[in-house]
Each structure stands twice: as structure tokens, then as C-alpha cells.
Structure 1
Amino acid sequence: MIKSKPYNLAIELLNAASTPYGFVAAVQEQDNYKRVWTRDGVITSIAALLSEDEVLIQTAKKTLDTLFSNQHKSGFMPSNVSPNDGSVSFGGTTGRADNPSWAVIGLASYTILTKDNSLWDKYEAEIDKCFAVLESWEFNGKHLVYVPQSGDWADEYIQHGYILFDQLLRVWALSLAAKISQHTIWMDKA
């Protein structure tokens, strides 16, 4: 990989966003973005994994650990976790229907790219809960997750229903999880 100036700036930014709890979504105090967010944290963690920088990979691991250790008992994942006081938000008017998929995508990516199964093994029950809650949101029984208004990354937009983006995230999560665990139900669902 050619390490250009933009690449080096991106690595600097990833380092600046690193905390003992994982990657925060903003390096400056901006609203509540200096928190570990499921969606942003996973996307940032995938970038860190691809950088092959060991310090950043450890921050990715901390991000995933923070997110999965704060999963709701019903299976949905936090919108964000504060590194200052550990407070957990599960969303505004509704929860985040994309977060269980993002969390599994992040954990599976970490497991596949590092060949370290420790987090996957540690959070096996939580992974099951992610898929169970997604299945419970199939209100019509036709294998599509219903996303409530402001229930995914586009929480400021007036959209709801069977949104393609959320369905594709779920397929991606199921495919990666099945690749690691050889779980036939996940393979069939994907």
C-alpha cells in the first residue's frame, strides 16, 4: 500500500479518535459525538483493521468490546456509549435498527482480519441476540426488517419501512457470521 499524505492524515485522525474505550465519532466536543457510536465505531474499526497498525487494531478491539458489553438484554445495540461516564444511549425517539447488523459486521471483520477469535467466542450469546432482535423486527414474517421512522443512520430523515440499506446490512452481517461459525440457519437466512 502506498502511504500517501492523505493516508497519513487519516491515520493521524484515527489515532486522535482513539480512547481507552474505543474510537469516538468526533475528536472535538461537538454535541454528543465524542462518544463510542456503534455505526461510526464499526466503520472506523474496519479502517483501522485495514491499516494493519497494531495500536489502531487494539482500539478497534476496545470499540467492539465497549459496544457488545453494553448490549441491551433484549438484543439491540447501543446508539452510543460515553467514554467519560459509561452512560449508554439506545437512540432518540426509536432505537437503531441498523446497529445490531453493524455490530456483528464489526466483530466478524475483526475476527476474520486478525484471526483472533477471542471476542467472537466471548460474545457468542450477544451475536445470537443481535440476530434474534433483527428477526423479531420482521413484523410481516417475510424476512425483512421493519425500520421505524428515524430508526437507522438517517435518523433526521422521514423514512421508515423495509429500507434496502438495512436489509443489505443484515445480509452482510449474516454472511460474515456464517463464514466464521458455519451456523446453517445464518447461512440460509443470508
Structure 2
Amino acid sequence: MSEPVSDLATPFDRAVALLRALCGPDGIHASLAATANYRAVFARDAVIAGIAGLLLDDATVAGGLVRTLERLRDLQGAEGQIASNFEPRDGGPPHVSFGTLAPRLDAATWYLVGVALAARAGALDPAAFADSVRATVRLLDALEYNGRDLLYVPAGGNWADEYPYEGYILYDQVLRAWALRLLGALHGQPAWTEKAARIGRAIDARFWPGAEARRGHPVAAFSPVRTCEMFDLAACGLLGASGVADDTGSAALEWAAERFVRRGVLPPAFHPVIDESHPDWPALVRYHLYEFRNRPHEYHNGGVWPVWLGWLALAFGRAGRDDDLARLRDAVDARLAALPAFDFEEYLHGLTGAPGGTPRMAYTATGLVLLRCAGTPAQRLLDA
């Protein structure tokens, strides 16, 4: 890089510079910080960052995506599993994790989305990934098990790995359907395209029960013993950006716009928060890998994550909601203007707006890039 990230003028310029700085010979690293294992290459973080690079037509970041996908393919498990993360080590094989407390199923779905979009952009040859893709699709079919079109995800099985929800999680269904729709078109696989359509219909039928439509947004998850009725911004942003289930996605966007964006409020990852009076509080307090981070309005528990604001922006852009997109950008700009020392921390406090979590994150830089790309012709890459 010709300039230090901190010397660049705007948060967007700094975000692009950070993403470029995180690109190495093994892919796109999660952070420049040495906290925990954030110097590893995480499938989810790297693919999302790489998608931002594709939308920008940035050769450095797109190249980092391709190297990420190549390494994930080469490290693929015998049954088609995709690593949650891997950490390169000098003079030896990388340390590879498929999940710690639980398998990270969204590593597989983001991998499939990444391969499809990189191929559509001409950044890679899909033939070199065809066997790997088929293995991962088969794995997800096997995990579905009961033939009812939805994946059952364990607690900790996706990005919100310290948040107490599990079962048929909306976020994971959206990613799988989007991947299958993109790959079905790419490889001429009508069975994959039809499967994606069935998942979309299942989302409409199961995540927005008619009797509960007054809620205004789809449920985050359900299982045989409970329904998780909170608002899940990641799932709803991805619904709108992908078009997997347009009716449910459109209604979710309207609710998010009315409840948050039109009031100048940045929507949190999950709403409402779990506090000490909530029945899930004891489980939340016990559930963490390194230390407890989910105090009310922090981290997953009501923290504001720029990466998911970016996907919400893309959803507004795809839907032609230009006024809501402009309001969202204005709210983000105002928040960042109040944070002169902002260092791309993972999230912002849901009430105070103070930065929290690991700094210099690809995740956060990606969110700012997606906010800029939303509503531009480049976004058409995401449409199947």
C-alpha cells in the first residue's frame, strides 16, 4: 500500500485500504489485530469481503477472494465440509477449524455463494471448483435429512456464535437458497434452481406464519420447542439483497425502515435485546468461548454491526428504496463523524454508538463498502 490506512481521508477510502491490506497469499484475513485468532482467514468474513471487492471491481480484493476460495477448496473435508477458518503457519500446514463449540454451517453456504459470484464476475474458472461445489451441495442435502427443504442449525452454528438461538434459522436458509439459485444458473443445474425455489417457498410459509403477521418481520428461527421471534438484521438484509423470498423480504425491509431507518436509528443485529429480566438471559451469560461479551446493546445482543448495515443497504438498493437507502447512509455518516478515532471495530453500542470488539476488521470495512455499492449497477452481480 502506498498510504497508511489511518492517513486516508474518508471512512470509505480507509475501508478499501484496509481490505487491501488484509489480502495475503492465503486469502483475506479477518483483522489486522492479533486478538484471539482474528489473523486467521475466516470463510464467512473473507467471502463477504471478497464480494465487496467484486462489486468494486478491485483486483486486489477480488484476488484475495479467489485465493480464499482455492484454499477452502483444498482444505475441504472428506464429506464436503468447508472450514470455518484456517490459520497459515510458517513451515507447516495451516491450523484448520470446522467449528469449536459447534460446526459453522454458514462457512459452507458462504463458500458456495462466493464461488458462484466470483465465477459470474469472471474472477475464477467454475470448472476448477465443480467437484468441490457438488460435494458441498450434497453435504447440505444430507444435513437437511428429512427432505423438508430447511436446514437444522445447532446453537453457535453460524455468524452469531454466542447468541442463544438454534433450529431452523432464517439466515442459513436464505444463504443456502441463494447459493443454489446462483449455482443452478451457473452450471445449468435445474434441480438446484428448483431446490432454491422450494426453500424460498418454505421461508414464506414457515418464517412468517399468517396468524403472527402483525409482528411485521419474519421470525429469526424456530425449533420443535420454541419460536425465536426477534428481528434478525443479517437474515432480513440477505433476504432483500438476494431476492430469495421477495414477499417476505419486502415486508421485512418495510418494517426495518419504519422501525429504525426513518427515525434516524441504526438497526441492531438482533432486536429486542436480552436483558437480565429476559428468560434467555441465563443461557446467554453462560454461552461464550473466551469471555462474556453479550451485555445488553453489545456484540450480538443488540450491537450495531456495520457489515449487516451494508447488506441492508444492498437490500434497499435492489428494491429501489432510494429514500430509505439515503437515510441509512446519512445515519451511518453521522455516527462515524462522531467517532474520529473509529478503527473499524466489530460493532457499535446499540445505545451510545461507542465502538466495541476487535478493531481493524474486514467485516466492518466490508459494510462501509457495501453501503457505497448499494443501488449502483455493480449490484446486479448479486442477481441470479
**What is the TM-score of this pair, normalised by structure 2?**
0.47
Deviation beyond 6 Å, 4+ runs, structure 1: none
- Which residue is 2:195 aligned to? 189
**2:143 & 2:60 partners in 1: Cα distance?**
37
Match of 2:103 among 95, 106, 110: 95
**1:172 & 1:33 partners in 2: Cα distance?**
27
User: Cα distance, 1:51 vs. partner?
Assistant: 1.7
- Which residue is 2:94 aligned to? 86
User: Cα distance, 1:139 vs. partner?
Assistant: 3.1
User: Cα distance, 1:116 vs. partner?
Assistant: 4.3
Look up the equivalent residue of 1:89 and give its one-letter code.
S
User: Cα distance, 1:182 vs. partner?
Assistant: 1.2
- Which residue is 2:132 aligned to? 126
**1:56 & 1:100 partners in 2: Cα distance?**
21
- Which residue is 2:72 aligned to? 67
* 1:71/1:178 CA distance change after superposition, 3 Å: same
User: Cα distance, 1:109 vs. partner?
Assistant: 0.8
Look up the equivalent residue of 2:172 and give its one-letter code.
D
| 1:9 pairs with 2:14 | yes
**2:161 & 2:60 partners in 1: Cα distance?**
32
Contact 2:43 2:84 in 1 (8 A): yes
| 1:156 pairs with 2:153 | no
- Which residue is 2:41 aligned to? 36
Per-residue CA shift, 1:5-59, capped at 9, x if unaligned? 2221111101121111010011110100111111001001001111212222211
**1:162 & 1:179 partners in 2: Cα distance?**
26
Per-residue CA shift, 1:141-181, capped at 9, x if unaligned? 20111101211111111211111110000001001101211
Aligned pair count reads 185
Contact 1:38 1:103 in 2 (8 A): yes
| 1:105 pairs with 2:113 | yes
Contact 1:19 1:83 in 2 (8 A): no
**2:160 & 2:60 partners in 1: Cα distance?**
31
- State the SS of the aligned residue for 2:144: coil
Contact 1:25 1:34 in 2 (8 A): yes
Contact 1:139 1:146 in 2 (8 A): no
* 1:116/1:40 CA distance change after superposition, 3 Å: closer
**2:24 & 2:66 partners in 1: Cα distance?**
12
Contact 2:153 2:168 in 1 (8 A): yes
Match of 1:18 among 19, 23, 31: 23
Which shows bigger deviation, 96-105 or 83-92? 83-92
Look up the equivalent residue of 1:87 and give its one-letter code.
H
**1:49 & 1:6 partners in 2: Cα distance?**
19
Match of 1:77 among 79, 82, 89: 82
Unaligned runs of 5+ in 1: none
Unaligned runs of 5+ in 2: 1-8, 197-384
How much identity, in percent, do the aligned residues show? Answer: 36
User: Cα distance, 1:117 vs. partner?
Assistant: 4.6
**1:73 & 1:164 partners in 2: Cα distance?**
27
Contact 2:30 2:45 in 1 (8 A): yes
- State the SS of the aligned residue for 1:82: strand
User: Cα distance, 1:87 vs. partner?
Assistant: 1.4
**What is the TM-score of this pair, normalised by structure 1?**
0.92
